Amino acid sequence: MASGSKRTTMKYIYNLPYREYYMLCRYLNADDTWEDVAGNWMNMDVLTIMDLRRQKNPAEYVLNLWGHENHTIVELFVIFHKMKFYEPMKLLQPYVSPKYHYLLHDVEKCLQKSTYKKPEPDRYSKDMKIGEQNCNWKQPAVSDLIKLLSETSTKKDHCMKNKVMLQVPVIEVPQPQSDSNNLNVVSPKATPLHDLSIVNQITNTSKKNNNVLFTKNEITLPQATYEELVVATDMWSIQNVLSKGSFSTVYKVFINYKLNVLGQWKNTAVAIKRMAPRNPSSDQYLRTEIQQSFTEIKILNSRPHENILPLYAYSLDGETPCLIYQLMQNGSLDDALRLRGNSEPLSWLQRHEIAVGTARGLQYLHTIGDRPLIHGDIKSSNILLNRNLEPRLGDFGLAREGPEKADMLVSKILGTKPYLPDDYLTDRRLSTKIDTYSFGIVLYELATGLLAYDNSRPQHKFLKEFVKNFNKDDQAQIMDKKAGTEMKSIFINFILLGNWCTNKLPKDRPEMEPVFRKLNNL
C-alpha cells in the first residue's frame, strides 16, 4: 500500500523511474508514434519535429521537452487515452491517481469491441486538461478534468520558428539493443566533440555580445579527458547516479573495494555532471550544451566563495560536456529535510547555520560584480551540504546577469514555479528580488520541513499559501517536530524572515545583504 501511494505521488514526467521511462520511449519510437504525440497532441511545431527526426531516440527528446514545461504524468496518460494507446497507459497506470483509471478501462473495452484505428485529434474542439496546477505555468485552479491541451493555434507553423529547445531535463535512456535486455547499456566508445570550430563560434559570439560566456583564454580550470570520467563512474552506471536535474545527470565516482579499484577522479572524491548525450551532427544541440556548460564554468570559475559549490575541472573532448565538482557528502538540503539516505534530522541550530551560509552566498553573488548575478533557481535541492553540513549553492544552469539598477524584462521565464513570485511569472521582470523570494520559500521549508509544493495537501498546495493560512497563534502547529525543542525560537525567526522575503511586491522585499545580516545577528 505504501509503495502504491508513493508511486501515485510522482507528479511529473521526469519523476518516472528509469525502467518505465525507457519502456515509454520504446513504445513511442515504434512506428514513429512520437510524431503523432508531438505534433497533434503536444502542439510542437514542424521545425522542431524535423529536428527530432534526425535523432536516434526522438521520443526521449519529446518527453524531455514536455517534461521541462512540468507537464504531468496524468496529462500524458490522458493523451494516450485519446489516442487509444493501451500499452503506455498500462505502463503509467501505477503512477496515476486511481480516479483516472477508468480511462484505461475505456480503452480496454474499445479494443475488445473492434479493431481500433487511431483517431485524428479535433483541432477545433476543446480538449481536457487535468485539474492540477502546473508548476511551471500560471493557471487558474480548476477541479478534476479540465483543459488538457490548449486549442490548436490557427497560425501557420512557420510563425513558430523561434520556439527554443533549450535546457530540457535529462533522464538517461539508452538505445535498446536487439540482443540484450540490459537497461544499463552504454556506448562502447565516446564520440568526441571534435568540431572545435563550434566552440570558437560560441566564444567569439559571447565576447561580441558581452554576455556571461567566456573566451578560451579565460579558462583557468584544468581539463579532464572524457575517457577517465567514464572509468570513474563505472561507464556511467545508473547505480552511481546522485541526481537528475533539469539539464543533466550527476554521478558519484565509482569505487570497487573488492577488486581494490579506486575509481575516484585523481584520488579525489568528486561528483560529475554529465550533459545529455546528443547527436554530434546536430550543431544546434551541440551549441546549446556547450553554452550551458560555459555559463556554469564562467560563474563558478570567476566567483569562488565558501558557500558556492567548488568546480574542479571540465571536459569537452567526449560525446557530451562534463563538469567535475567537489563531492557533497550529505547531499542536498531537500534530501536532509526528507531524511533520505537514513540521514539524521537537522536540529534548529544546524538549520540556522545552513540558512546563514546560503544567504551569505547569495548576497555575494548579488554584490561582487559590476552587475548582480541572479541564480534564478534557488531551492532546497540546489543547496548542497558537505561533510560538516555547510551549505554550497549549486546548479547555475539558469543563472543570468541582472541589470545594474532595478530590473529588466526577459523573454523567457526560467526556474521552478513554487519558488518564483507571481510578479515574475506574469510580468517577466528579472531582478535580485527573484532570488530573495526563492530564499524565503527555503526558509519556510527549513521551518516546517514541508514541500514547497505538495499536491496531497487538500488546500494551499503552495507552501507560501499554506504557511500564511496560519495566524501567529497557530503557527506552532506547522513547526517541524523533527528538529527537536532546543533553540526552537529559530522557527519563528524563519517564518518572520520568510514573510519578509516573500512579500507580494518586489519593492517590499529586501535585498539579500540585509537578510544575511538579520540571520547572522540572531
φ and ψ at residue 229, rounded to 5 degrees: -75, -35
Q: Do 482 and 345 meet the contact criterion of CB atoms below 8 Å apart?
A: yes
Query: How many whole angstroms separate alpha carbon 359 and alpha carbon 355?
Result: 6
Query: How many whole angstroms separate alpha carbon 502 and alpha carbon 295?
Result: 28
Query: How many whole angstroms separate alpha carbon 441 and alpha carbon 89?
Result: 35
Residue 92, amino acid: L
C-alpha cell at 406: 532595478
Query: How many whole angstroms separate alpha carbon 168 and alpha carbon 407?
Result: 26
Say whether 334 is catalytic: no
Choose among 390, 393, 305, 308: nearest CA to 350: 390
Q: Which residues is 315 bridged to in the sheet?
A: 322
Q: Catalytic one among 377, 395, 407, 423?
A: 377
Q: Do 168 and 57 meet the contact criterion of CB atoms below 8 Å apart?
A: no
* CA dihedral sign of residues 392, 395, 396, 398: negative
CA 12 vs. chain centroid, Å, equals 11
Query: Any residues with CB less than 8 A from the CB of 377 and at least 6 apart, and which?
Result: 246, 395, 397, 398, 399, 414, 415, 416, 419, 438
Q: Do 42 and 121 meet the contact criterion of CB atoms below 8 Å apart?
A: no
Structural Rg of the chain based on CA atoms: 23
Length of the chain: 522
How many C-beta atoms lie closer than 10 Å to residue 116's C-beta? 14
> Catalytic positions, please?
377
